[in-house]
Amino acid sequence: MSRFTENPDEIVLQDIQMFHLESMNERTLWIGVYTENDKIYHLNISADGDKLKYYWSDETPDSKWDDPIPDGVDPWNLRGRS
């Protein structure tokens, strides 16, 4: 089974915490939808000639990300180099 649902007939969401839209270029939009129950969805919309295609995906991680970088450590300088 594919990770993406191509051209779904309908998308209905409720309890949205954040809706994030980005124009990737003049023919492509990316939308991130974050719900109050910690689900994450992506919608990619693109024009291919005169056809509109869109892909819906559930991007919710299987588990919460555990930050491996300890507090007080600069993530851009992990080896201590200046």
Which residue ranges make up each domain of the chain?
4-58
Identify whether the C-beta of residue 69 lies closer than 8 Å to the C-beta of residue 78.
Answer: yes
The maximal CA–CA distance of the chain, rounded, in angstroms, is 53
pTM: 0.69
Could you read off the pLDDT of 14-64 as tens digits, one per residue? Answer: 999 999 999 999 999 999 999 999 999 999 999 988 899 999 999 998 766
